[in-house]
Structure 1
């Protein structure tokens, strides 16, 4: 009991001591201790009595890994049970402490034991590899060059791991050990002098590492240093400069050149890689490409000779040595021009419109012609199409002038479409063209021209004032004001007026044409200012002037021949005989007026002898008509007595003759009512009363001789038919002589007009005809003119009919709507029996009137510019 109490006290004391000591027991044992080596008296240190360790079952708690120590059951000592290897247990950690748990049962207690394993020098230094191969180039590696080496490692710690290095003797290499706080130790192999592969191709050295243990342990590594061949031969090209030509239209991928470089070195030093550099131009990097292995240069972009005609390339051949060496060559690529650019035609200056009076050689336009190609491909030939009236003149290289080669006429061509064509000298040739529009400006170089030189106008007399007589038109091919025509009557024109004019002129003379007609300034219409009277005026000839509005103005003239056509406005007029008895004719006149037979003259007296045979002329009724043609062609009719009487009247002669033999049964006196009618529409008439007395033959002759106022008809009745025929023949001879004289005068004047300046155009070409009609004699040309053309036994007669000849065709070109009708529409054909023809007018070239007494027109007015057509 006392012993147990003592034991309990010891345990309490041990616990208190353990508590004071931190509750742990520390032991130290060197590594590699043999099995059975006592580490410490664990039971005693825990305060157990001898024999209690086994009784209380003192043991170690199993750990996660196998323990190298154990508790001896009998003695309670901690002994080594297996090999202790600090490097295996703790590697490089220091200190190396093992924590053990000790379990005591009855009562259960747990104690902690710390076992520290101390290091011994049991590991030699070890290099990563037994051999290290190095390659160092000859000559190129400079002395002092350092080559890093991996140092050895030692599993021990502390002084046992402190290493020192040594190198086998060598005159070329040495060691350099550098220690820094950041990197620790760094080992370098230092080249002391240059290597020569030809002398020592391989250097073999031994690197030794010794630790600081006692005794020290050593580890070695063999260094095999191969001396590398120096890349002292650079690649060489067989040419320093390659010259290549390539057309500019070459396709992508075309082989430009194949280069070859050689290297005298061996191995990688002779393996060559090619590279390409563009020296000129700088922006041509994407045009060419090179194969790095074969050295083939191929086209990968577009060539354009006009942009770049020459490329300079540099090719580098670089070997794969260390360091690599390069060889160089140049490639000069000349781009060959191809005719791929058409000529270009540009207008630098254009002077339009061109005046139609521009002189030959006037420059119309300046042109610039170029071709981006070179050589023959860039030589350009130019011409103008169509060739006239323009041409090209070269001023200097590439510049041309479009000049006028011929005179222009706007009225013929008002605008030109000119095409300048260019062609280069390539094969095939390329062409270009440029069109120019050259308008021609107008110049007042054309005078107004009438469609006819002479206009023949027919107008019936007694027309209304203001009636349109004709419509003239003058063509002026100029434009605008130069072609705007105004018309006027030349004031110098004049017309011959008859002295027997019914208008009361009183005496013959000349009157200006402007008093009869006027011309509308714009339309060219000819108007009548007053009614025309054929008996006053048969022919009105005047000139119309057409003037344009140009500057200066030009004018043209046309002659207008106005022929007044006769109307049946005059009744026949009887010529009274002296000794007539007015009182006797009063009753007959009243009877004739009541019968509607027109005017009645005084009674005419005639005598007839008893026993006169049939057909003997007793008297002749004389009558005149102021009209002409059919209107003046008279016929005589016996109105009373209507029954068969002893007398009859010649239908056209007016001769009163016996119808049968007269006898006393017929009575002493006969009154004859004779009607004289013209052939007009409507017909006009006059009546004559003839009182015929039947007497003896001797009395009839006496009455004829004593009567101073007896008519020519009575004398003819007394003289008989033979005497009357003789008188008529005399007058016919006189008329023939007068006509012949007039014809000779016309021939002389015509010849003179051919050699003298022209004053006025009187007529269109061709003859104009005078018509006179009578059975018993020819009428005179005019009783109002000084020359009598035809003479009969009666009074002089005025009778004129004019027919226009054919007209020249109108000028080419369209005529305006107000152009006068064709001349043929204005002419009336007059026909009738017994017409005598006389030429009145000469052709248009005659400069004076046919009539010997006077000229119908004065001189032509002077106009600037070319004369009108037919002037």
Structure 2
């Protein structure tokens, strides 16, 4: 295989073939490829021939393009011929990447022998092809406001070369405007053009971008192409409203169709996005009228105006385009309605009644009138006039034409005339002026010249204590000869009343009822004197005062109170009857029978109450002997009851503790005691125990034990624990020596003087198998149990030889004997 390289578009191939022929053998060829790319166009290639044990290698010389295969001269050292393969015209890799040749070598023998060689020529690439774009024209539509990173278009170019010469990279042309470079970017590998900046149709509708496709050859080749980007308008501009002419104020009598303002609207978008429709809010008496000029409107009145109903309108102009979705904007203008004198003065009431107090001061204002005109400024400026009549009252009344104050020229007398009628006219300042009238009725009011008078000279009442809040104590009554408020009477306590009484009583200002407002306590106060006043409702009210005497009636509302003034909480159980335990005093805040108290105590206690010399004082004393061992504590309940109806009572319980006296001797739990003790017991250990009880307490019940010593020696080897009553054996017992004995134990308490008791203790010794049997017969001469008995010869079986007798000191099973040979 031969690979053809190139430098500067010249292709040189030099092939040197060494052919060695042998008659008997067919040559075997092996090709080895060596490539040396020199800038002078030299290509080195070697062909190696191998036949038998011979091996040759030849390197071909440099050959120029245009040479043909020419036989070479013989080498002196080899008889082979050298064929030279020469390129006769330029090779094109893009047309054919490889060429296959067969080289045949023929020797000169007879018969001739030949050898063949397959040659594969690979044509190497040089960068002789520029990239070619896949399209002649690149054109694309792009929405304005497309987000950064949006793919606009992907261009594609191919290069017929191979390797790096055929790898294409993309870029913008160096002549590109910087503004376009800020808007777009291109991926050099994929040719993808993406959005980089903000695309605005209103700024530019079309962009032409020059892009380049370059290969990666050492001397790269480049192609350029234009990409046309047409921006698609998006509805991103809200309509703009401009008021080009505006009359901020128009008269209220303007006819429908009167022009108020000229409006123009613009929208930067195109097509439907830039088509604008205008309207105003429906709640105003205005409308938009299209003008001859495009996108221009007139704001005109569409109905009659009335400033008195509404003096100002906020007209909102809404401009909306036809885009999807549509965009809109608003502009509000304020139109003021100017006044026209189209309203007459109006009084709030007609007829109107005024009240004038009799005995008024002459020359002062007695009342005032007021008319209103819905117009404004001079059209609403009102003057007042009083129409004279035959009624004499108009001769002593006058009116202030600007303020409407009516003045009395002399004093009015209610008793002479209670009412008067007048006609009043109000004129506005319009041109021509408008007027309004009002009928006035003047009523003369009474003067408060009579104070209230109580119906009774003396008010006195009895009131039980503790009556519920809201109970009526008494009702007072007063009258006033005046009329109206001057004759209406209200009741109250005097301002000098004690604050404490105000917490106990209240008075109904309308009816004069005095009611209970707090707790009435006879024990606190037996009588109350309340100052009340009756007052009319005149502007300058007149008042009269009166005293009400309230006498409180006692009610049995206090339970007796028990107080222990002296108390011995503990008394000895040997106290004699009549011993004082406590001093008791009782008290009741009520009076009379309600305060009389009787005392008693419960019957189930050995105590009683003994009245003392001092009133309502008692002594609690014992009434019978006490025994602490039967009951050590008494709860004594003292009951105090008064003589009221119904009676009230109270209780107090005191606890009396009975202290101990040493009046009980110790008592043993058994008498006599019987104990069984096994013989051969361990000396010093407890063999049995005694227990005595004492019904007294503390030291009187503290018991000690001792053995009552006697001449009997058995008691000498027993000892007793004085505190616990445990009896210890000082030495072992022997049943065979002593089988039973008795002794006395004394229990003594620690009282003063002490009391004691004794008990008999019977002790039985129990046998143990501690004695071996002893043979009494037969005995040998030396006393051993080996006896010798003589018997006749030839005795028969069953013959009695001797009788054996034995003894065991133990008893029971321990003393039973069993004999055997």
- Same-fold call, TM cutoff 0.5: no
Q: Which has the higher contact order (CA 8 A, sep 6+)?
A: 1
TM-score, length of structure 1 as denominator length: 0.36
- Higher helix proportion: 1
Larger Rg: 1
TM-score, length of structure 2 as denominator length: 0.38
- Higher strand proportion: 2
